Amino acid sequence: MGESTETLIQMLFGKMPYAEGLEYQPDVSKVLNSKKVSDHHAIIPTMEVAKADIGELKERSRKILYLISARVLTATADPYIYESHKCQITCNYHTFYLNAKKTKQEGFKTIEKKLKQFFGIIAEKEEPELDIWAGKHYGPCDSFVSEYFTQPPKQYTEDTLLSAMERAGNEELTEDTEKKGLGTPATRAAIIEKLIQSGFVKR
C-alpha cells in the first residue's frame, strides 16, 4: 500500500486548497509497515477525491475531508526540528529567566499553519524565536523605565449598586436556581439604607 499512499498524497497536494504551494517527498514508512500487518486501522481519503467536486460537498463534510487529509499529510511530512534554549541572566543582583527556541526545520508545522490560516484560526502564542550565533559578542542592551498611573475603580452610585446586587453570584448559580442576586427588587433599597444607617457605607 506504500506506493498507492504516496500517489494519494501527491493528489491531495493539488486538491486541498490549504495545501497550495506544498511540496515534499512523503515518508510513508512512518505510518505503514508491511512486515507488521494484522488489522488495518485508519481513516484516510481515497482516490475518489481526485474526480470529485469538493465544492459540491456540504460545508460540514468538506471541513471533515480537509481535516482528515491534513492528518495524512502531517503524518508523512518532514519532522519539525528546533533547538530549545533556557537562559538565566544576572544583572545588578537581579536574575532574569528566558525560555526560547530556534526553529531549524518547519516540517509538518507548515501544513498545520496553512490549515489554521485557511480556517481563519488565530495561532496560539508560542515561545519567542531566539537567534544565537556562537562566538559572536553583543554589546549592552538598551533599557528604559516607564511610569504609568492606574485609575481607581469607579465608586458605586445607588443605581449601579442596585444593579450589582441583582447580578451578584449569578455566574456561579445554575439556570434552575429560583432566587438570584442579593435581596429582592422590593428589599434591595432597604438593605442599602440599613448599611448607610449602620455606618458601613457613605452616600
Going by pLDDT thresholds of 50, 70 and 90, the confidence category of residue 65 is very high
Q: Would you state the pLDDT for residue 197?
A: 93
* DSSP, res 59: H
- pLDDT of 135 reads 45
Cell of 176: 434552575
Residue 162: C-alpha distances to residues 108, 139, 186 (Å): 55, 59, 11
Q: What is the mean pLDDT of residues 10-39?
A: 83
pLDDT of residue 23: 79
pTM: 0.55
DSSP β-bridge partners for residue 96? 89
**Which tens digits make up the pLDDT trace of 107-161?**
999 999 888 888 888 877 666 666 554 445 555 666 666 677 788 888 988 889 9
Average pLDDT for residues 164-173, to the nearest whole number? 82
- The residue behind cell 477525491 is 49
Quote the distance between the C-alpha of residue 185 and its chain's center.
43
Q: How many percent of the chain have pLDDT more than 70?
A: 86
Cell triple for residue 183?
435581596
Say what the pLDDT of residue 143 is: 63
In the structure, what pLDDT confidence band is assigned to residue 99 with cuts at 50, 70 and 90? confident
Mean pLDDT of 96-106: 84
126 — phi, psi (to 5°)?
-105, 170
- Strand-pair partners of 97: 88
Residue 89: band (very low, low, confident or very high) from pLDDT cuts 50, 70, 90? confident
Mean predicted lDDT score pLDDT of the chain: 82
- At residue 71's C-alpha, the angle toward residues 108 and 7, to 5°, is 90
Region 72-87 average pLDDT: 87
